[in-house]
Amino acid sequence: MADCLAGRESGTDELSQQVKRAKTDSENGREAERESECQNILTGFKTSSVLNDSAREKVIFVHGKLADQEAVVIMEKTPVREDTLAELFSGSTLNLEMKNDIYSTYQLQAPPHLNKIKTTVVCPATEKHVKKYQRQELFLVEETGEDYQSITLPYIQQQSFSLQWVYNILEKKAEADRIVYEDPDTKDGFVLAPDFKWDQKQLDDLYLLAIVNRRDIKSLRDLTSEHVPLLQNVFQKGKEAILQRYKLPASKLRVYLHYQPSYYHLHVHFTKLGFEAPGCGVERAHLIGDVIQNLQSDPQYYKTRTLYFQLKENDGLLSKFKEAGKL
Ligand code: GTA
C-alpha cells in the first residue's frame, strides 16, 4: 500500500525526513501489509451489548453474535494523516454547522477510502474475551513471590487465553507476510511483527511485538539471569530492525513487558514514545532495560519481588486474591 507510513509529526525536520524515507521504503514494496477486500462477515452481526467505548479515543467494543457464535467487535476511527490532507481538502463535501464571527464548524464528508474504521473481530469469543473488553472498576493487587506460586500460577495454568495465534506467528501459519524481523535462534531468537492494534498507516502509533521462539517462559515471573542474553538480544535487534525499517531511533521507542500479560508466552512491546498505548502505564508496563538491570543485580529478582498490577472487578484472578484474603 503506497500511502502507508506517512508521519504526522512534522515538528522536527529530521523526523519528518525519517518518516518520508520510511514512506519511500513502503512505496518500494518493503512494507509487508497487504490490503484485500473480503466479504462483509459483519452484515449478520447481532449486537448484544456495548462492552466499552470512548469518545476521546473514538473506539467502541461490542459484544454480539456472528452466525450463532459469540463475538467481540472492536471499531476504532483511524487518525487523519498528513499525506492525505490535500485529497481531504479537495475531494470532500463540506456542510456548515454554525458560523460566528471568525469561527465556523462543519461536517466534512471525506471520500470513502479516507474514511475508514479499523475493525477487529474476535470470533468465537470466550467469556474471558467478553470480560477482558468490558468496562469495569479496577483494583490494584500486590503479588508476592509466594502469592504468585499459590494463587496466580494455578489460576493461569487453568484459565489463560489460548496461545494458538502466537504459535501461528512463530510457525508462519499466520501473519507471515507481516514479519519485520526474525532471529531463528531457538534459545535467544524471536519474531518481530506489527501488533494487531497498529494499522501501520502512520508512525505516531507504531506498535510492534517481539515474540520469543522459546515456549517455556510465561511472563516476567519466570525470568532469571539465565534469560538476560535473550532479553538483550530482543532489545538490541528489535531496535535495529525498527531503525532500519521505520527509521525510528531507539530514543523514540518505549520497549516493555506487561505484567500481568493477557497471553502467557513471553513477548515484548515496542511502541512509539509519546503514544499512549493501552497498558503502557506504571501499573502494567516494565521497561525492558530495567528488567535486564534488575536481573543482572539479582538473578532471582522477579521470583522474589512483590509485583503490583491492576485487575478488573470481573477478573477471576481478582476473586482468587479475595478468597485468599489478600484484598
Ligand atoms: N499481531 O493475533 C494477533 C494478536 N492478538 C490476538 C493479540 N495481539 C496480537 N498481535 C498480532 N496478532 O498488544 C497483541 C495485542 C497485545 C499483545 C499481547 O498481543 O494487541 P499482552 O499479553 O500483554 O496483553 O499483549 P494485553 O496488552 O492485555 O492485550 P490487549 O489485547 O492489547 O488488551 C489490552 C487492552 O487494550 C484491552 O483490554 C482493551 O481494553 C484495550 N484496547 C484499547 N484499544 C484497543 C484496540 N483497538 N484493540 C484491542 N484492544 C484495545
pLDDT of residue 222: 98
Q: Which of 117, 133, 149 is the last residue of a domain?
A: 133
Based on the domain organization, do 185 and 99 belong to the same domain? Answer: no
C-alpha cell of 120?
Answer: 477487529
ipTM at complex level: 0.95
pLDDT of residue 35: 62
Q: What percent of the chain has pLDDT over 90?
A: 87
Is 165 a member of any domain? yes
Is 266 a member of any domain? yes
User: What residue type is assigned to position 16 of the chain?
Assistant: S
Residue 28 above 80 pLDDT? no
C-alpha cell of 77?
Answer: 476511527
pLDDT of residue 36: 72
Based on the domain organization, do 73 and 191 belong to the same domain? Answer: no
CB-CB contact of 240 with 234 (8 Å) = no
The tally of domains found in the chain comes to 2
Based on the domain organization, do 245 and 258 belong to the same domain? Answer: yes
CATH number for the domain including 129? 3.30.200.40
Quote the ligand 1 centre to 205 CA distance (angstroms): 14
Is 50 a member of any domain? yes
Q: Shortest CA distance to 180 belongs to which of 212, 214, 213, 210? A: 210
Is 37 a member of any domain? no
Task: Report the pLDDT averaged over residues 57-79.
Answer: 96
Cα radius of gyration (the chain): 22
Is 32 a member of any domain? no
CA 194 to ligand 1: nearest atom? 1
Based on the domain organization, do 81 and 182 belong to the same domain? Answer: no
Based on the domain organization, do 125 and 169 belong to the same domain? Answer: no
Based on the domain organization, do 184 and 60 belong to the same domain? Answer: no
pLDDT of residue 37: 78
Is 8 a member of any domain? no
Based on the domain organization, do 217 and 203 belong to the same domain? Answer: yes
Based on the domain organization, do 155 and 227 belong to the same domain? Answer: yes
pLDDT of residue 39: 85
- Helices 13-27/228-246 angle, 10° precision: 90
The residues that bridge with 76 in the sheet, in sequence order, are 59, 118
Based on the domain organization, do 314 and 170 belong to the same domain? Answer: yes
* Mean pLDDT estimate for the chain: 91
Based on the domain organization, do 103 and 63 belong to the same domain? Answer: yes
User: What residue type is assigned to position 65 of the chain?
Assistant: K
C-alpha to C-alpha distance for 240 and 225, rounded to whole angstroms: 23
Catalytic-role residue among 63, 129, 227, 267:
267
CATH number for the domain including 146? 3.30.428.10
C-alpha cell of 187?
Answer: 534459545
C-alpha to C-alpha distance for 105 and 92, rounded to whole angstroms: 15
pLDDT digit string, tens, across residues 265-316:
999 999 999 999 999 999 999 999 999 999 999 999 999 999 999 999 999 9
Q: Which of 35-44, 69-78, 127-136 has the lowest average pLDDT?
A: 35-44
C-alpha cell of 316?
Answer: 477471576
C-alpha to C-alpha distance for 205 and 201, rounded to whole angstroms: 9
CA 193 to ligand 1: nearest atom? 1
Query: At 76, phi and psi to the nearest 5?
Result: -140, 125
Check: pTM over 0.80? Answer yes or no. Answer: yes
Question: Hey, is 12 helix, strand or coil?
Answer: coil
Based on the domain organization, do 119 and 265 belong to the same domain? Answer: no
Exposed, middle or buried, 208 (CB in 10 Å: 0-12/13-18/19+)? Answer: buried
C-alpha to C-alpha distance for 327 and 321, rounded to whole angstroms: 6
Q: Where in the sequence is the domain holding 58, given as residue range(s)? A: 45-133
pLDDT digit string, tens, across residues 220-241:
999 999 999 999 999 999 999 9
pLDDT digit string, tens, across residues 250-259:
999 999 999 9
Mark whether 267 is an active-site residue. Answer: yes
Residue 12 above 90 pLDDT? no
Based on the domain organization, do 123 and 197 belong to the same domain? Answer: no
**Ligand 1, residues at Cβ distance < 6 Å:** 59, 74, 76, 120, 132-133, 165, 175, 193, 195-197, 209, 258, 261-263, 278-279
Cβ neighbours for 263, distance < 8 A, ≥ 6 positions apart: 160, 161, 163, 165, 166
Task: Report the pLDDT averaged over residues 176-188.
Answer: 98
Q: Which of 91, 112, 133 is the last residue of a domain?
A: 133
Is 79 a member of any domain? yes
Residue 5 above 60 pLDDT? no
Tell whether 264 is in a known binding site.
yes
H or E segment and range at residue 16: helix 13-27
Q: Distances from the Cα of 180 to the Cαs of 58, 125, 173, 208, 243, in angstroms? A: 28, 28, 16, 9, 11
pLDDT of residue 9: 36
Q: Which of 110, 133, 156 is the last residue of a domain?
A: 133
Is 175 a member of any domain? yes
Exposed, middle or buried, 121 (CB in 10 Å: 0-12/13-18/19+)? Answer: middle
C-alpha to C-alpha distance for 165 and 176, rounded to whole angstroms: 12
Residue 10 above 50 pLDDT? no
Task: Report the pLDDT averaged over residues 192-201.
Answer: 96
Quote the ligand 1 centre to 211 CA distance (angstroms): 13
